[in-house]
């Protein structure tokens, strides 16, 4: 038992881990994707804005010098640098045609050669060129825009605006970090909520699993406490209902075995007793011998009927129950059964009345042997359970496309609380009459196979009425 509980616990932990791994991994992927997308979008926004600002300043300065000769350009560039108002944010450079820095608002770079692609492309194509990368000298991430200065189509120099990307990168890192923290917080909240949610499912499932194992081990009838009005609650209801039905089935089958054993023992005892008595020559009078033989024949017939019922039930349970369908006259089959039982009932003091219908015949498609078995079984039941009324009525009539057969006795009837169960296999209720309790179940199966219906009710004036409804037609 301890090993079973350990295996069950390991399975539950596996389910919990798979659930959390699957759900959290999806959210984690979405969070990472959101952070990356946000970072890329923010970087693109900031970098594009910076680039546009640098282009505006470089273009404005280059336009200012476009009518200057090279000597004028050199003189005016020094003044422009000295009066540049954004020295704290940007570095303004004036570039010679050889790529060296003529003047710079950041004086330390004057005379150096940056040798960056923006300068080479701007001087080579005579168009403004932006560039992002590391400064060859300081290895600092920078953004630069170089605009060529032209005089009558000739290159006289260039204007280059440079800014550090450190502050923008820092803001991007902070924004990305903040978004990542928010995502991790959401992920943690999701993990905790999923943990509680999974626990609310796994723990009841663990209890259900243990209960199911106990039922499988033979503890029929045990019940689970229902604490949820959801799918778990429906599962608990199903398990509880299954447990009760298994217990009821076990009880019914046990009672059935006991009842059948008793029913088989009674005729066998009578047969053995009378056979030994006759064999030993204890009966001298012929009428006594005849009486004893009659009892043997009667009990043998009853024993044969019980065995036939058991065989029929076995065929139904195994799926070997079949019909030999052919066109037949339902009325003729019923009349044969009535005439056969009328003499039997007369000997027991029971009056059997037959109420005919106006139709000469009622054609249906069916198995005559099986239908005759139904009629005989129902007549036998009527005598067995309602024979105290000393009267049984059988009637047949046609209603539209249906044939109705009613077999009614005038006995005590069926207790109302037992009426819904009398057709169940093995069920005998409070009846003390002999029988296996499967006759009506076999009859209902036969009628159902003929697309009909078998109903049992208590008649208003007393007694039980059985109604068989069958479709007419060949």
If asked whether residues 290 and 346 sit together in one domain, one would say no
Q: Comparing 141-145, 175-179, 224-228, 274-278, which segment has the lowest mean pLDDT?
A: 224-228
Q: Which domain holds residue 15?
A: 2-169
If asked whether residues 6 and 145 sit together in one domain, one would say yes
d(CA 369, CA 347): 26
Whether residue 350 lies inside any domain: the answer is: yes
* Short-list 442, 448, 346, 430, CA closest to 385: 430
Give ∠ CA 170-171-176 in degrees, rounded to 5: 100
Q: pLDDT per residue over 419-465, tens digit each? A: 877 777 666 665 655 555 677 888 888 899 899 999 999 988 888 99
The CA distances from residue 146 to 116, 142, 249, 359, in Å, are 10, 13, 94, 114
Whether residue 289 lies inside any domain: the answer is: yes
If asked whether residues 280 and 352 sit together in one domain, one would say no
Q: pLDDT per residue over 52-69, tens digit each? A: 999 999 988 888 887 777
Which token pair is 302?
């009853």
Whether residue 445 lies inside any domain: the answer is: yes
Q: Which of 108-112, 220-224, 352-356 has the highest mean pLDDT?
A: 352-356
Residue written as token pair 């923008």? 168
Question: Which has more confidence, 5 or 56?
Answer: 56
For the residues 169-188, what does the mean pLDDT come to? 87
If asked whether residues 436 and 405 sit together in one domain, one would say yes
Whether residue 457 lies inside any domain: the answer is: yes
d(CA 321, CA 314): 9
If asked whether residues 338 and 461 sit together in one domain, one would say yes
* Short-list 389, 386, 377, CA closest to 468: 377
d(CA 251, CA 272): 31
Domain boundary (294, 318, 342) is at: 318
Rounded (to 5) percent helix, strand, coil in the chain: 60, 15, 25
If asked whether residues 262 and 350 sit together in one domain, one would say no
Whether residue 211 lies inside any domain: the answer is: no
Q: Comparing 24-38, 351-365, 453-467, which segment has the lowest mean pLDDT?
A: 24-38
Structural domain count of the chain: 3
Predicted confidence at residue 10, as pLDDT, reads 47
CA 316 to mean position of chain CA atoms: 31
Predicted confidence at residue 346, as pLDDT, reads 87
Do residues 252 and 429 make contact, with C-beta atoms less than 8 angstroms apart?
no
The proportion of the chain whose per-residue pLDDT surpasses 90, expressed as a percent, equals 19
Predicted confidence at residue 129, as pLDDT, reads 93
If asked whether residues 251 and 330 sit together in one domain, one would say no
| Phi (first) and psi of residue 380, to 5 degrees | -65, -40
d(CA 262, CA 435): 10
């Amino acid at each position: 038992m301890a090993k079973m509980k350990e295996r069950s616990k390991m399975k539950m932990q596996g389910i919990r881990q798979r659930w959390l791994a699957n759900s959290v991994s999806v959210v984690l992927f979405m969070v990472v994707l959101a952070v990356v997308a946000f970072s890329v979008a923010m970087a693109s926004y900031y970098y594009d804005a910076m680039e546009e600002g640098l282009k505006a300043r470089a273009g404005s300065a280059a336009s200012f010098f476009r009518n200057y000769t090279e000597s004028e350009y050199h003189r005016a560039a020094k003044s422009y640098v000295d009066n540049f108002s954004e020295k704290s944010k940007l570095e303004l450079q004036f570039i010679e045609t050889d790529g060296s820095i003529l003047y710079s608002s950041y004086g330390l770079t004057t005379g150096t050669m940056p040798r960056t692609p923006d300068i080479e492309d701007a001087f080579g194509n005579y168009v403004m060129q932006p560039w992002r990368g590391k400064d060859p000298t300081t290895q600092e991430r920078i953004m630069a825009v170089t605009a060529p200065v032209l005089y009558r189509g000739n290159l006289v120099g260039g204007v280059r605006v440079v800014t550090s990307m450190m502050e923008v990168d820092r803001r991007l890192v902070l924004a990305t970090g903040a978004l990542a923290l928010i995502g991790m917080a959401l992920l943690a909240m999701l993990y905790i909520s999923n943990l509680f949610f999974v626990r609310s499912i796994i723990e009841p499932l663990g209890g259900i699993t243990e209960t199911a194992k106990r039922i499988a081990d033979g503890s029929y009838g045990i019940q689970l406490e229902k604490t949820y009005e959801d799918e778990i609650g429906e599962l608990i209801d199903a398990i509880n209902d299954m447990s009760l039905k298994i217990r009821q089935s076990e009880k019914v089958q046990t009672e059935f075995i006991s009842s059948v054993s008793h029913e088989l023992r009674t005729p066998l005892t009578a047969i053995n007793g009378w056979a030994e008595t006759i064999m030993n020559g204890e009966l001298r009078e012929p009428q006594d011998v005849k009486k004893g033989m009659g009892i043997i024949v009667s009990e043998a017939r009853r024993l044969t009927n019980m065995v036939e019922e058991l065989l029929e039930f076995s065929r139904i349970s195994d799926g070997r129950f079949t019909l030999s369908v052919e066109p037949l006259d339902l009325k003729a089959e019923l009349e044969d059964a009535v005439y056969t039982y009328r003499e039997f009932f007369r000997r027991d003091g029971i009056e059997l009345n037959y109420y005919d219908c106006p139709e000469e015949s009622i054609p249906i498609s069916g198995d005559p042997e099986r239908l005759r078995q139904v009629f005989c079984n129902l007549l036998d039941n009527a005598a067995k359970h309602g024979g105290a009324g000393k009267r049984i009525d059988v009637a047949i009539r046609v209603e539209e496309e249906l044939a109705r057969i009613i077999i009614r006795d005038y006995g005590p009837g069926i207790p109302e609380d037992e009426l819904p169960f009398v057709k169940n296999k093995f069920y005998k209720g409070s009846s003390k009459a002999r029988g296996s309790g499967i006759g009506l179940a076999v009859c209902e199966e036969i009628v159902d196979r003929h697309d009909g219906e078998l109903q049992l009710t208590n008649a208003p004036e007393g007694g039980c009425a059985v109604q068989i409804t069958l479709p007419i037609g060949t």
